Amino acid sequence: MLTQFAEDLFHPNDHGYRVWASAFLPEVTARMAARFPRRPRKVETATERGVGSGESADVSAASGTTERPAASA
């Protein structure tokens, strides 16, 4: 128990804060999920993005942007 407190024997140390956070996290997570429910995201198909047949698109997972290959002359 004393290993969870700082030298002043009042404030928690790093380990004490982790124990404290793990005790509160389930309740905080449940309340946040109830207050701010997630809406399902619509996933665009290649046709909806405007990529025609025979073309391909590179989708960046990090930014969600789409880059079309350069048109050949």
pLDDT 10s digits, 4-44 = 778 887 888 999 999 999 999 999 999 999 999 888 878 87
For residue 47, the model assigns a pLDDT of: 77
Give bridge partners of residue 5 from the DSSP assignment. Answer: 12
Q: Where are the domains positioned within the chain?
A: 1-33
Determine the Cα–Cα distance for residues 61 and 56; give it in Å rounded to an integer: 16
Whole-number pLDDT of residue 33: 93
